[in-house]
Chain A
Amino acid sequence: ETGVTQSPTHLIKTRGQQVTLRCSSQSGHNTVSWYQQALGQGPQFIFQYYREEENGRGNFPPRFSGLQFPNYSSELNVNALELDDSALYLCASSLDPGSNNSPLHFGNGTRLTVT
């Protein structure tokens, strides 16, 4: 089975620009979650998609938006980039958001730098 893959691995953007990050979920998984991890911090939950619908959202402004496609891959879009958006963005897939035995499988992340 293929694991979670994220692209690109690194990205440099200028303040005010827009960015799209991509994630392919692990085979058989229908749930994708996105997390932001600033340097030296634990990951912060952005949102989760389950079967193409948003299934929960963390404390992030509306300029953070997402999509999930019929094949369960996902995109994270960030508009009007700010310097504080510089972070490692992690995507995780799982089988069922409501299960207590459905571990999350993470990709290696996209390192976004905003200058």
Chain B
Amino acid sequence: KQEVTQIPAALSVPEGENLVLNCSFTDSAIYNLQWFRQDPGKGLTSLLLIQSSQREQTSGRLNASLDKSSGRSTLYIAASQPGDSATYLCAVQDRKLIWGLGTSLAVNP
């Protein structure tokens, strides 16, 4: 049974710092891995999708990596800003998405 774990559960950093969020999964038979952002009380915004055959994807200040063999993904956020404050969730997809519990990020001005 696929299980997804995210570390840390919460993170508070000063503005401008580079930071790394971690995601691990137990079954490497996945279609892809996706990172999402969720603002309080809101739906989910897709940030990056890494196909199972890929090793990383980049979008602006975000870079996500995938190592299927070790069951790990990282989301790197460069030069963090207060507007980055949100919960970041990773999910692995076979026919459905299986989610971690998220990392709650606070970027302080």
Contact = CB atoms under 8 A, between A and B. Distances in A.
A97 B43 CA distance: 20
Interface residues of B, number: 26
B98 interface: yes
B98 A100 contact: no
B89 interface: yes
Interface string A39-51: 0111111001000
Interface in B78-93: 89, 91, 93
B51 A43 contact: no
A102 to B, nearest CB: 8
Interface in A63-115: 88, 90, 92, 97-101, 103-109, 111
Contacts of B36: 106
B95 interface: yes
A28 interface: no
A58 B42 CA distance: 23
Contacts of A16: none
Contact of A104 (B52, B53, B97): B97
A10 to B, nearest CB: 10
B41 A111 contact: yes
B20 interface: no
B43 A108 contact: yes
A4 to B, nearest CB: 8
